[in-house]
Amino acid sequence: MPNSHRGFGYWATIAVAIVMAIFGLPILGGGLWLISLGGSWYYALAGIGLLVSAYFLFRHSITGVWVYLATFIGTLIWALWESGLNAWAQVPRLVAPTIILLLVLATIPALRGRFGVSRGAFAAAAVGVLAVGASVMVLTSVRDQTIFAQEVAPPAADVAPPAAVESPAPVVPAEDTATPVIPTPAPVNYATLETGADWPAYGGDHAATRYSPLNEITPENVGQLEQIWEFRTGDLPENDEPFGNQNTPVKVGDRLYLCSALNKISALDAATGAEFWTYDPQTPVDAIGYNASCRGLVYFEDTTAAATDLCASRVVNLTHDARMIALDTETGQPCADFGNAGIVNLLEGIGDTAPGFYAPTSPPTLVRDVLVVGSQVSDGQTREAPSGVIRGFNVVTGELEWAWDMGRPGETGLPPEGEIYTPGTPNVWTIASGDDELGMVYLPMGNSAVDYWGGDRSEAENTYSTAIVALDVETGEVAWHYQTVHYDIWDYDLGGQGTLVDFPTADGPVPAIVMPSKQAQFYILNRETGEPLVNIEERPAPQGGVEPERLSPTQPYVTDFPNLLKPDLTEADMWGATPLDQLWCRIQFRQASYDGVYTPPTVDQPWIQFPGYNGGTDWGGVAIDPEKGIMIANYNNMPNYNQLVPREEVDELGILPITDPNYDPDAGGGSHGSISPQALSPYGIRVNAGWRVPFTGLLCKQPPYGGIAAIDLNTREVLWDRPFGSARKNGPFGIPSMLPVDIGTPNNGGGVITASGLFFIGAATDDIFRAIDIETGEEVWQVTLPAGGQATPMTYEAEGRQIVVINAGGHDFMETPIGDYFIAYALPAGDTP
């Protein structure tokens, strides 16, 4: 073509050819690499098609269009063969190729001249239009990705955070400055506290059903919910501190009690959100462990005390710097008769430790007037970590009544002088549940310090690691235990609170505990004896890795009750925003060791852990409607891409445990570091949580990444199971897509069921608070939160009105916005039945 005719169309065609070549070369090279690893041949063939098409387009030949059409049609056939009509699976397979197709079709006028289109060019355009139509039909074919339109109540305007409170003081109306008036809580019978008008414990009650008999808010009127008050704690990170409050308040009488990310305790008017008092324990920021979170506190009323006695009713909270504080509910002042002027030092017997290493984030569990206390211990640091000892304290005096230290059998008090509780033992970082009638507390155990190697664990550690342990709350002795993972080297600790129910069996209802797991299974046991009430089968587990002689040959699987464990991953499950992303993930899949669940850790190559350590159910637990016999569980469905790192390499990188004087959090090795040191063991650990694509930040596994399901306890059938969480806050390169379609996001934090058939939950990474119809699984109401809702909500009655409250505190690991909000919703005044 003469230079005088080389206009825009000519150069645009050259540009399209260059773009195709730029993508074609790595796709061809990566495709050949994938073939050498035993993977799909598609990418190599597609790379050839792109390059040949680019060659002819560069030469200004219509043959380039035909070659790409053939390549695209082959891509369409391959995509349908490999993943069917799954729109999310087809995104990396068809979106970019379709865009290239449109660009190629746009070159046709330039290839034959603006006005002189040949029959061949016309035919190519027609076939291309049909191909685009087919691609669009595939990408929009999945029914459950329809946008669910809702009429959402707008959030109220932000309220400025209150000034920091140096000492507890009541909030006094401006016109009354002479005599502070603190409303006295109405008398409450502690022994009869239960959900309904009140919400007296983290899980509703210590049985943790997360169920309320309230029914004022229904599926029919929930759309009328409006925000009625908002309270802000003022606790927000100033620098890069890991914040993420997950508080569920407790409500007794006319008061609501809550705690902030840095352990401030506030008493509010349950109806209006007005602040009665706030107590600030002055928790230092350097005491933050995994993150700054206060999941809950404990309410106690001494029915033997006179109504005028100080601290006749009290709230008890744990701080990040390991103090247990009891406050008078009327004044917010420390209880003088509890511990040392209202404070118990939980580091007694623990020994010297670095700030943030032993950092409680969950409330104690109260059973028969005994406060049962565990603690978070930061993962991955060193085998000489603080002890996982569980202790029972008198709720009135704060005195130690017993200690269960599995390394000191038969010894239930403080260690002898000069000694400490056994280091590195499994801990309970989450919330326990308790049965006052049986006098038992049920502990969801973690695993020993150094999660991914167990060569020097004791017999007791191997017995109680990742197990449900029932302790006699009067003595601290083990009543029974059941292990859910044998020789846990996957960080599969039990993160959810066990729920106590009367479980239906052929012989009638049996008092049971339902324990969810990170493998999305539900272990259901007789809570008096520990005997399984479901069939649990020991199945062969993968072997090998770095300690094959110590691995358990089998792992337990529940076989006659639904689980939410998804099928093993395949190469076809790899994902991304483009074919290049997906190709990279396929290569990584083929390079890794993977034999399904419980693939052993490896050092010579990465290994895939699916579900990852954030799989299944975590701190939110499950919710159970005991009247309908329905359990609702939200869960995660994400893999990790891990690799053990030899000790000498860890040392060369300068990655040190938190206890080392030269510890540098910026060098990695912190609780959020890419490599954790696992000091005093042969290996550190590199964890790619969620298994992210390096280019775009998306996950390598195709969606969904999280779901929500309802299970009938009577029939043991799944009533519904669907993706949970929209794509509005997710997208490549961290750019929110704002697409209101259900992709199924990572989610943490549980929900609450009401007698009217609603399930309220935040949890997902889209910052939406939802109400779901438990009969159908359909969303019937939603509102956008100002920060992440990774806390379990609660509901109660105040002044004759049902109110729903959630803490929008966010979570740094979940990458949701950090906030300090407590927000209450109710039906408009006058609209209540």
Residue 450 scores a pLDDT above 90:
yes
3-state DSSP percent of the chain in helix, strand and coil, to 5: 20, 25, 55
Q: What is the structure's pLDDT at 156?
A: 36
**pLDDT per residue over 174-215, tens digit each?**
333 333 344 444 444 444 456 789 999 999 988 999 999 999
- DSSP for 140-177? T--GGGS-----PPPPPPP-PPPPPPSS--B---TT--
Nearest alpha-carbon partner for 313 in 253, 233, 399: 253
Residue 541: pLDDT band by 50, 70, 90 thresholds?
A: very high
The mean predicted confidence, pLDDT, of the chain is: 89
Q: What is the structure's pLDDT at 172?
A: 34
Residue 3 scores a pLDDT above 50:
no
Q: What is the structure's pLDDT at 115?
A: 38
pLDDT top residue among 179 and 95: 95
Q: Which residues contact 828 (CB under 8 A, 6 or more apart)?
A: 224, 226
Q: Which residues contact 340 (CB under 8 A, 6 or more apart)?
A: none
Judged by average pLDDT, the poorest of 154-168, 211-225, 694-708 is 154-168
Asked if 721 is an active-site residue, the reply is no
Distance of CA 575 to the CA centre of its chain: 21
Nearest alpha-carbon partner for 82 in 134, 138, 126: 138
Q: What is the structure's pLDDT at 134?
A: 56
Torsional sign, CA 555, 559, 562, 567? positive
Q: Which residues contact 614 (CB under 8 A, 6 or more apart)?
A: 518, 636, 638, 640, 689, 690, 746, 748
Judged by average pLDDT, the poorest of 115-124, 203-212, 550-559, 811-820 is 115-124
Judged by average pLDDT, the poorest of 77-91, 102-116, 532-546 is 102-116
Q: What is the structure's pLDDT at 302?
A: 86
Residue 556: pLDDT band by 50, 70, 90 thresholds?
A: very high
Residue 451 scores a pLDDT above 50:
yes
Residue 372 scores a pLDDT above 50:
yes
- Cα Rg of the chain (Å, integer): 29
* Residue where the block lists tokens 């060193």: 382
Q: What is the structure's pLDDT at 121?
A: 54
The average pLDDT across 722-736 equals 86
Q: What is the structure's pLDDT at 130?
A: 55
Q: What percent of the chain has pLDDT over 90?
A: 78
Q: What is the structure's pLDDT at 128?
A: 54
Q: Residue 804 belongs to what H/E stretch?
A: strand 801-808
Q: What is the structure's pLDDT at 429?
A: 96
Spatial contact of 204 and 231, defined as CB atoms under 8 Å apart? no
pLDDT top residue among 540 and 5: 540
What is the SS3 string spanning 200-234? Answer: CECCECCCCCCEECCCCCCCCCHHHCEEEEEEECC
Which residue stretches of 278-352 are H helix? none
- Peptide bond just before 611 cis, omega within 30 deg: yes
**Cα(296)–Cα(285) distance, rounded to whole angstroms?**
19
* Residue where the block lists tokens 């993160």: 495
**pLDDT per residue over 463-498, tens digit each?**
999 999 999 999 999 999 999 999 999 999 999 999
How would you classify the pairing of strands 313-318 and 323-328?
antiparallel
Q: What is the structure's pLDDT at 139?
A: 52
Q: What is the structure's pLDDT at 278?
A: 98
**Cα(272)–Cα(319) distance, rounded to whole angstroms?**
27
Judged by average pLDDT, the poorest of 146-155, 177-186, 353-362, 762-771 is 146-155
Judged by average pLDDT, the poorest of 35-49, 63-77, 113-127, 354-368 is 113-127
**pLDDT per residue over 567-581, tens digit each?**
999 999 999 888 999
Q: What is the structure's pLDDT at 206?
A: 84
Residue 830: pLDDT band by 50, 70, 90 thresholds?
A: confident
Q: What is the structure's pLDDT at 829?
A: 86
The average pLDDT across 746-756 equals 96
The average pLDDT across 357-376 equals 96
**pLDDT per residue over 129-143, tens digit each?**
555 555 555 555 543
- Peptide bond just before 704 cis, omega within 30 deg: yes
The average pLDDT across 731-742 equals 81
Catalytic residue of the set 491, 581, 618, 742:
491
Q: What is the structure's pLDDT at 496?
A: 94
**pLDDT per residue over 651-676, tens digit each?**
999 999 999 998 877 666 544 448 99
The average pLDDT across 163-169 equals 36
The average pLDDT across 139-168 equals 37
**pLDDT per residue over 580-619, tens digit each?**
999 999 999 999 999 999 999 999 999 999 999 999 999 9
